[in-house]
Structure 1
Amino acid sequence: MIRPLVDTASNPVPHGTRVDSLNLSDGKELRYAITPASTHPVQGTVLILHGRNECIEKYFETARDIAARGFTVATFDWRGQGASSRLLRDPAKGFVKSFDDYAADLEQLFESVLLPDCRGPYYILAHSAGALTALLAAPVLSNRVRRMVLLAPLLDINGSRARKMVASIAATTLRSTGLGGTYMLGGPHEIKPFAVNEVTSDAARYLRNCEILKQAPELAIGGPTASWIVAAAKAIKEVNRPEFIEKIRIPMLIIAAGADSVVSTPAIERYALQLRNTTLLTVDGAKHEILQEKDFYREQFFATFDAFIPGTGGESL
């Protein structure tokens, strides 16, 4: 049964949005939502790819903003989070065997939902772990996606080299001994006070997102497991291979958050310099979740987004 979208006073469901589920080839289900363009002519479809421990409801405001620009907006909950199928006996644990599973789900969503039901051309707007998946899938999507916008892509986490090495060894050991479902960072989900959050400086948007999870706590997951950490590290290693970078053909806009304490902004900036046909913007002062940030930062994002999407239409598809 499809989990209905959570509607709150501060976060209403965008007008005309429909929610449905996609049955995947391995028996899992993805919950997805389609928001129609609210102005005409329709300029195509923007697919929003969430970060870890995010859900469709968190992007209602962004969906309305993009629909008002003449785009259909599609988005979905990744396997293992939101209201899509969970992967462990304990549904609160953030788990995936491989980011290739995410990429395969993305491919199936294109085949079964976007291509038959949503007007092209197609664009991707992806955040954090979703942006890492977008990069991983980019060579396969080059004939389908006209342009990509990647926000704070997960290309390295913040922290000392020694701390990251210890975490990597511990996660690999746990996974190799059959304990990949063990929490590595944090534990069961808890709603933190705004004052100690690391992702946004906007109190109203932060509290709005907390209200979603207070009303529907089953949409949240806890900290990443050992398996998720290992899978993310393998995906990061893969997209950094020179041979892989050579296969990326989709024009990209990469936006880093200048005050990001979750992922490494220097790693993002270094990566962007290796890509052809890529524009890099660092939003000074913004925290990790730029789309959940203060208007001052979101306006900088949308000014750049509007200059990049839909583009000239001259790209080969």
Structure 2
Amino acid sequence: MTTQVEPNGPKLVSIPTNPVPEGARVGYFTTSDKVRLRYARWLKSEGPQRGTICLVQGRTEYIEKYFETVADFRRRGFAVATFDWRGQGGSDRLIGDPTVGYVDRFEDYWTDLRSFHADILLPDCPGPFYLVGHSMGGLASLVATTRDRMMFDRVFLSAPMVGLHGMDESLSRWAMIAETASFLGLGKLPLKRKGDRRPDEAMYPDNPLTSDMLRYKRMVETVRADDGLYLGSPSFRWLAAAMRAMLDTRRERFAGEIRIPLLILAAARDQIVSTPAIEHLGLRLRTGRHMVIAGSRHEMFMENDNVRGQVLAAFDAFITQQSS
């Protein structure tokens, strides 16, 4: 089967080092608040039918970045469905500068996920449904678990953004600064940071994402093939919304509101999100647990084979074997 694209719909970027997995169905759907999002879905490629993995990405990411992981899940008997969050990837950008990350409220990501579940997962994908989320997508997934415990059977998170590296004590102060800037009409302006420039091979030695040079280069080549996938600095409004959502996970009652079986993986060498904040949340969970992956940088699904092997082994123990 070849890739199927809706008439006048979106496409997936395919390059020799990162080809589109066979059998992709690509299209747009519209959220309940009228934002157009790009999605893709695949049937399983091997094994017994185990259900569908709903894969949600981190900030700045896009569907193409997860082609290798999509193939891993499909070989295990899972269909895979994924989409680009509002404001990034091939979905609608929300402000005049398409390279600046923006969202009005973090709750809007819940709207994206809820609309995707209703419009794509339920009618078009085999159940049961399992949610896999990374970084910002992990935080959005946590919000979802407190809203509706019937949407997904299990939730698997890698490096969820429940805090920022080195900011455990200052997060509240920075949230107030970002909120004040937004109140003063500066919400759409970017907070420019060195690490937000377009990726290139020269950035690899100091990159905080992965220790795997070939997978890092693959990310660079994909964005180079379609610059429209690039997203740079976050806006003050995005920071205000995201930081308040992170602070919300520190509420004493938050962990108890999660009633879905949950496994959280933290990266021991993470320089993007706060591993101590993940551990603190993990220790408070009633229906889940956490583990730290030694040697891993932030993007565990893009890491070297040793780290990825540990991540997929954890996935198998928590989801694949439980779906038999």
TM-score normalised over the length of structure 2: 0.93
Query: For 2:240 and 2:146, how far apart are their aligned partners in 1?
Result: 22
The amino acid of 2:129's aligned partner reads: Y
Moved more, 57-66 or 220-229: 220-229
Alignment of 1:125 with 2:125, yes or no, is: no
* CA displacement at 1:190 relative to structure 2: 1.5
* CA displacement at 1:166 relative to structure 2: 5.7
The amino acid of 1:46's aligned partner reads: I
Aligned counterpart, 1:299: 309
Aligned counterpart, 2:189: 182
Aligned counterpart, 2:292: 282
Alignment of 1:191 with 2:179, yes or no, is: no
Secondary structure at the counterpart of residue 191 of structure 1: coil
The amino acid of 2:158's aligned partner reads: L
8 Å Cα contact 1:253/1:280 also seen in 2: yes
The amino acid of 2:55's aligned partner reads: I
- 5+ long unaligned stretches in structure 2: 1-7
The amino acid of 1:140's aligned partner reads: R
Please give the per-residue CA displacement for 1:237-283, whole angstroms capped at 9, x wherever unaligned. 22332333222101011000000011111110110011112121111
Relative to structure 1, is the Cα distance of residues 281 and 9 closer, same or farther in structure 2, using a 3 angstrom cutoff? same
Secondary structure at the counterpart of residue 108 of structure 1: helix
* CA displacement at 1:311 relative to structure 2: 5.0
Aligned counterpart, 2:243: 233
Query: For 1:164 and 1:271, how far apart are their aligned partners in 2?
Result: 16
TM-score normalised over the length of structure 1: 0.95
Query: For 2:25 and 2:114, how far apart are their aligned partners in 1?
Result: 21
User: Could you tell me the percent identity over the aligned residues?
Assistant: 41
- 5+ long unaligned stretches in structure 1: none
8 Å Cα contact 2:297/2:303 also seen in 1: yes
Aligned counterpart, 1:257: 267
Please give the per-residue CA displacement for 1:112-135, whole angstroms capped at 9, x wherever unaligned. 110111011100110000000000
Query: For 2:50 and 2:244, how far apart are their aligned partners in 1?
Result: 36
Relative to structure 1, is the Cα distance of residues 161 and 32 closer, same or farther in structure 2, using a 3 angstrom cutoff? closer
Secondary structure at the counterpart of residue 262 of structure 1: coil
CA RMSD of aligned residues (A): 1.7
Alignment of 1:144 with 2:151, yes or no, is: yes
Query: For 1:249 and 1:146, how far apart are their aligned partners in 2?
Result: 10
* CA displacement at 1:10 relative to structure 2: 0.5
Please give the per-residue CA displacement for 1:181-236, whole angstroms capped at 9, x wherever unaligned. 11114277421421121110000000001101001011111111101111011111
Aligned counterpart, 2:4: none
* CA displacement at 1:26 relative to structure 2: 2.3
Secondary structure at the counterpart of residue 177 of structure 1: helix
Relative to structure 1, is the Cα distance of residues 278 and 161 closer, same or farther in structure 2, using a 3 angstrom cutoff? closer
**Matching residue within 9, 13, 23 for 1:6:** 13
**Matching residue within 27, 52, 55 for 1:48:** 55
Query: For 1:165 and 1:106, how far apart are their aligned partners in 2?
Result: 26
The amino acid of 1:22's aligned partner reads: F
Relative to structure 1, is the Cα distance of residues 70 and 198 closer, same or farther in structure 2, using a 3 angstrom cutoff? same
